[in-house]
Amino acid sequence: MKILLVEDDEKIAGLVKKTLRLEGYRVDWAVDGEEGLYLAESNNYDVMIIDWMLPKMDGLTLLKRIREKKNTPALMLTAKSDLNDKITGLGVADDYLTKPFSLEELVARLKALYRRNKQLKTNLLKVGDLELNPDTKEVRRGNRKIELTAKQFELLKLLMANKNRIVSPAMIMENLWEIGEEITSNVVNVYISHLRKKIDGPENKKLIKTIRGMGFKISDE
């Protein structure tokens, strides 16, 4: 497991690093929010431990900035024990541990976050650098997070579940709309067009392809 620790208290950081390394984990340490952001954006971590009260950039702001590009599981480590603070922290972080804390509990929570994230990743649909997570409803292409409407998400999921296979307009209508719903004959083309702009628009490599007279497919070939 590769872990990012962002903690300005050298004593606490030293104890955490020593404990985690004894567990066999690799730990990168940042002493302030700006350094933490640089490391988070420059590397891929399995789990992050972020203190709330940090120099240069507080932990909550740091985590929000990281979340713009990556969804790495994060545990908020802080002396803030007020219920409202916990609610605020858990609105961004995946877990919350108050100081003073047990090192054994910290390790147990990190392992739980890692397992949970690994389970979610097994459900990922992938085509090239495009990823769709059916559990979190998150779509990413590389480091770019893509916001989709509910119908666009279901359309993309259908295409990705049938990677490299042609999906006909009839199949799309059957899966995305209820029987009896009034839709125009061109609605599938409209949805494909909107989806293509979001997925392929700024990219050099286009993934969504139109197979004339047959339908559509998604492929990185």
- CATH code for the domain in which residue 160 is found: 1.10.10.10
d(CA 49, CA 66): 13
- Structure-block tokens of residue 36: 């933490």
pTM: 0.60
Residues 38 and 61 in one domain: yes
**Domain end residue (candidates: 69, 99, 121):** 121
In the chain, the number of structural domains is 2
Inter-CA distances, 97 with 41, 64, 78, 90, 163, Å: 24, 18, 7, 10, 41
| Residues 84, 67 share a domain | yes
Q: Do 137 and 154 contact (CB within 8 A), yes or no?
A: no
How do the pLDDT tens digits run along the chain, 221 residues long?
899 999 999 999 999 999 999 998 999 999 999 999 999 988 889 899 999 999 999 999 999 999 888 888 999 998 888 888 889 888 888 898 888 888 999 999 999 988 887 776 667 889 999 999 887 888 999 888 899 999 999 999 999 999 999 999 989 988 888 766 667 768 999 999 999 999 999 888 999 999 999 999 999 88
Q: CATH number for the domain including 88?
A: 3.40.50.2300
Alpha-carbon separation of residue 45 from 23, 27, 121, 204 (angstroms)? 16, 9, 14, 27
